[in-house]
Amino acid sequence: MKCRMQKNGIWRVQWILLCLFTLCSVSCKDDETNEVAPYNPNLPVEITGFTPETGGGGTRMVVYGKNFGTDISLMKLTVGGLDAKIINVLGDCMYCTVPQKAYKGNLVLTVGEGEQAQTVEAEKKFAYVRQMVVSTLCGKVDEKGKFDVKEGPFDDCGGIDYPTWFSFDPNKKDILYLAQDGQNMRVLDLKNKYLHNGVIKGGAGLDRMRTITWTLDGDTMIIANDRDGDTYANNIYIVRKKGEELHKQFIDNPRAMQQGRGCNGSAVHPTNGELYYNSFYSGEVFRYDYWAAKDDKGGFDYSLREKLYNIQDKDWEFNFVIHPTGTYAYIVVINQHYIMRTDYDRDRKTFGTPYLICGLAGKGDEGRGWVDAVGEKVRLNEPYQGVFVLDTNPERKGDKYDFYFTDKMNHCIRILTPDGQVSTFAGRGSSALNNDPWGYVNGGLRSEARFDRPCALAYDEETKTFYVGDTSNHCIRKIAMEEGDEQEESENN
C-alpha cells in the first residue's frame, strides 16, 4: 500500500506557496502609494493563472489575476462548483485552499455585491486528484458534549464511549468489534451500517477490556482483562455461538482462561496459536499454550504459563501486535512512549528479548513529544493500537509491511517502517485554524484532519480503509480514498 505521507515534502510545498504569495503580494502593491487598490467595479476582474495546477482537497493555491481588491467579504471563489476557503488576498493575488471533491476543476471567482459584482472563470481547469481523507463513520455529541450510548444506524447511534481497541471478526469481515476501556463492548456491522451492543462487562470478572485477539480457527475471542487482584481472570474467552445473528455470536458467556493482575494486552501467534500476554504490575511477559492447559470440562490449568522476561520494571502499560508472518512482534509501551521489537525463535517457539525500535525507552516525560525521525530520536506520546499494513509497491524489498499506530496524546496516526523510521500519516492538520494539534476536523490527512486522543485502530486491506476510535470526540472516524465521480474526473482529465 502506497499511502505514506512525505511530511517534509508537503511542508516544503506549502512554504513555497507562502513565499510565492508574499512575492506576489509585494508585486500587487501600487508603486506610487505603496498600498493595494480596493476592488474597482469599473475595471474588469481577471484570472490569469493559478499554482499549483493539480492536487487534492486542502491543496494550498495561489490565484493570479487583476482587480481582486482586499476585502475577502466581497469575494467568492469556487473550484469545481464548491466553495474554496480564501485565506488572504492582495489586489492581484489570492491565497486559498481547494475544497474536497472538486472534481470538475473549474475556477469561478465573484467579486463585489449586487449590480457592482463581477464573475469570471479561469480558462484552465484545476486537475483534481482524489486522495485519502478523514471522515466520520458514526458517533456524535450534542453542543454541550453530551451523548447517548445506544444501538442504532450509524447516523443515529449516539456517542461512542472511550473506544480503545478494534478487532475484525476473522470469519465475518463485515463485523468489527470494539473494546471500550471500562465499558461494554460494541459491534459495528459495516455492511448494514448499524452499531450494536456487545459483551457486557461483569461476567467472569470482566471489567476493563483492553485488547481482543482470536484463536486460529476464529471461533474463540480472547479479551485482555485489566483488573487488579491475583484471583481475577486476566484473559477471558468467549466461544462463538453459531447460528445466531452475526452481531450476537460473541455477546455472552465469558469464561476465565488465565488468572493474574492487570493485563493490558494479549495476542495469539498466527502460526502456533499460542497466547502471549503481559502483566502491568510487574512488567512481565508470559507465554501460554492454552490448548495444552485446557481440560475436558473447558477449564484451564493456570500454572502452565511460562514467564519470558520483564519489560523494564513494574507499572509498564503495553500491548502486543504480532506481524502477519509471525516472525516478530511490536511491543507498544503506552505510558512510557516507545515501541520495542521482539523476534520470534521458531526452534524454541517463543519470542526473544525485546529491543528498542523507536522512541526513548524508560525516560518518562523526557520521551514525550512529537518528532518524526528514526529510532531513539523519535518522540511519541502514548502510542496505543497498531496494525500491520502491506505496501503493494512491487519495487519494495524485504519486509513489505509498515506499522500504522495511533499516537493518542499527539492526536494523530503515525507510521513505523521496519527500519525504525517514523512519520505522521494523518492528523494535526488545519494549522491555519489555530495552533492546537487536536480537534474535530474532517478532510485531507495532514492538511486538514484533526483527532482528539485517538486510541483504537483497524485496517481493512480489501477496501484500503482505516477505522479510528476517536476517544474525546466520542466517535469512529474513517480514513479512505474519497468517493469520486468517475465521469467528472474523466471529463476533467
Domain regions of the chain by residue span: 7-128, 132-481
Give residues with Cβ within 8 angstroms of 52, minimum separation 6.
13, 17, 59, 61
CA distance 341 to 399: 14
Question: Are 207 and 200 within 8 A, CB to CB?
Answer: no
Average pLDDT of the segment spanning 195-200: 95
CA distance 490 to 375: 44
CA distance 227 to 52: 55
Task: List, for residues 168-191, the tens digit of each pLDDT value.
Answer: 999 998 999 999 999 999 999 999
Average pLDDT of the segment spanning 277-299: 85
Using pLDDT thresholds of 50, 70 and 90, give the confidence band for residue 134: very high
* Sheet hosting strand 383-390, strand order edge to edge: 383-390, 401-407, 412-416, 422-427
CA distance 94 to 323: 48
What superfamily would CATH give domain 132-481? TolB, C-terminal domain (2.120.10.30)
Give residues with Cβ within 8 angstroms of 254, minimum separation 6.
199, 203, 204, 206, 223, 236, 237, 238
Bigger pLDDT: 420 vs 297: 420
**pLDDT more than 90, % of the chain:** 71
Task: List, for residues 13-43, the tens digit of each pLDDT value.
Answer: 444 455 444 445 444 444 444 577 899 999 9
pLDDT score for 282: 85
**Tally of helices (H runs) and strands (E runs) in the chain:** 3, 37
* Domain 7-128 shares a fold with domain 132-481: no
The per-residue pLDDT of the chain, averaged, comes to 89
Question: Are 93 and 62 within 8 A, CB to CB?
Answer: yes
CA distance 101 to 25: 29
What superfamily would CATH give domain 7-128? Immunoglobulins (2.60.40.10)
**Residues 86, 18, 53, 30: is their CA dihedral positive or negative?**
positive
Assess whether pLDDT exceeds 70 at residue 6: no
* Partners of 338 in beta bridges: 333, 359
Using pLDDT thresholds of 50, 70 and 90, give the confidence band for residue 491: low
